[in-house]
Amino acid sequence: MTQITKVDGRDDDDGLWRIASEAGEKFSALYYRAFDKSNRPDLPGFFMQNVIVLWNGNRIEGQEAAVEFFSKLPDSTSTLHSLSCQPVHKSLTGDKLLVLVNVFGTIKFERHPARIFSETFFLTQESNLWRVQSVTFRFID
């Protein structure tokens, strides 16, 4: 169990930050490797059943719909330039550990020029795996 200490009247828990950082880094490496595969066959395992995806303002609800949407995108190559991971404070989540992962990078879809993007994931643990509860993707023009 991680020890929690008080610093300036607030909870400070290095263990949760370390968990969030490791989870976000491992998740991102695996996710973008799966995303960049042709037809994206491994993506279902990354999403919760009730995942919510916002893709450039378009809302997609549920694992099946998200996987169908992503499978129709052209093949891609993603390059991450920045990754920031942090735990979501327990006052917002109760006892559930949520990890916020912010990604900044470039993506090149087949037959299209490379574009800069920002992507934000909320990850939650399910069966000892980190899964996407919600994700927001935006091209930056």
Is CATH 3.10.450.50 the classification given to domain 10-140?
yes
- Give the Cα separation of 42 and 35 in Å (integer): 8
Q: How many CB atoms lie under 10 A from the CB of residue 110?
A: 10
The H-assigned helical ranges of the chain are: 14-35, 63-71, 90-93
Q: How far apart are CA 139 and CA 26, in angstroms?
A: 23
**Tell me, what DSSP letter sits at residue 44?**
G
Residue written as token pair 């991450």: 80
The residues spanned by each domain of the chain are 10-140
Length of the chain: 141
**Which pLDDT belongs to residue 53?**
98
**pLDDT at site 66:** 97
Q: Per-residue confidence of the chain (141 residues) as pLDDT tens digits?
A: 333 333 344 455 678 889 899 999 999 999 999 999 988 999 999 999 999 999 999 999 999 999 999 999 999 999 999 999 999 867 666 778 899 999 999 999 999 999 999 999 999 988 889 999 999 999 998
Helix count and strand count (H, E) for the chain: 3, 8
H/E stretch holding 52 = strand 47-55
Which run of H or of E encompasses 99? strand 98-109
